[in-house]
Amino acid sequence: ERILAAAAEILAAPDDLPISMTSVARRASLGMTSLYNYFSDLTELMLAVLDPVMETAHADYLALLGEYWPDEHLHERCIEFVLAYHNFWARNSRLLHLRNSMADQFDARMVEQRIASTQPVIERLLRQMVGDDANARAEAGSTAAMVMIGVERSITIATDHRLGQIIGWNELHDEHRFIRPGARLMELVIRDTRARSANRG
C-alpha cells in the first residue's frame, strides 16, 4: 500500500515529477530490494496503480452505454457519454497518458491493458448501433472501433497539458473543445448505422 500510494502521489504531483522505480522507492522510503520484492518492474507497478482506477470505469462512463439510447434522446446521450469519458480521463490524466505512452512503445502488458479497457466501450457502442443483429454486427464492428478511437484520441489530446504547452495553447485553452464534436460524430454514426441496418431488415 505504501508503494502504490507513493506512485499515486508522484503521478498526482502538479509539476509532472518523473516516475521510475527509484523515485517510487524514494517516495515510499523503501530500499530498491524491498520494492522489487513486490513489483518486478515499472509496468507491473503501473498496472497495480491502474487496477482500482479502471474498476471505476463502469460507474464513471460504461454504465451510460448499458441501456439502449432511443433515437429521440440520442444527441443528449452521446454528449453525456463523451463528457463522462472526458471527465474520467481528466481525473486520471497522467496515469492514462503514461499507460498509452508505454503501450505506444510496444510494452505488451500495457497494450493488453489498453485494449481491455476499450473493448467494453466498443462492444456497447456496437449494441447501440445494431443491437444483436449478427449480420450487421460483423460489418459495423470496425465502425464502432473507429468511433471509439476518434473519441479517445481527441480526449487524450485535450487532457494532455504538456502537448498544449508544446503546440502553444495558452491557459485559456478549453479542454472541453472536442466533447460536442466527438458526441456529434458518435451520434451521426449511430443514426446512420441504425438506418442502414433497418433498411436491410
Residue type, 56: T
% of the chain exceeding 90 in pLDDT: 78
Specify the pLDDT at position 157. 86
Residue 48 CA from chain centroid, whole number? 17
Contact partners, residue 119, CB within 8 Å, separation at least 6: none
| Alpha-carbon gap, residue 27 to 3, rounded angstroms | 8
Specify the pLDDT at position 146. 95
Q: Can you tell me whether residue 91 is helix, strand or coil?
A: helix
pLDDT tens, residue by residue, 65-79: 999 999 999 999 999
pLDDT tens, residue by residue, 101-153: 999 999 999 999 999 999 999 999 999 999 988 888 888 999 999 999 999 99
Q: Quick check: 97 and 160 in contact, CB under 8 A?
A: yes
Contact partners, residue 95, CB within 8 Å, separation at least 6: 11, 46, 49, 50, 53
Q: What pTM does this model have?
A: 0.91
Contact partners, residue 36, CB within 8 Å, separation at least 6: 21
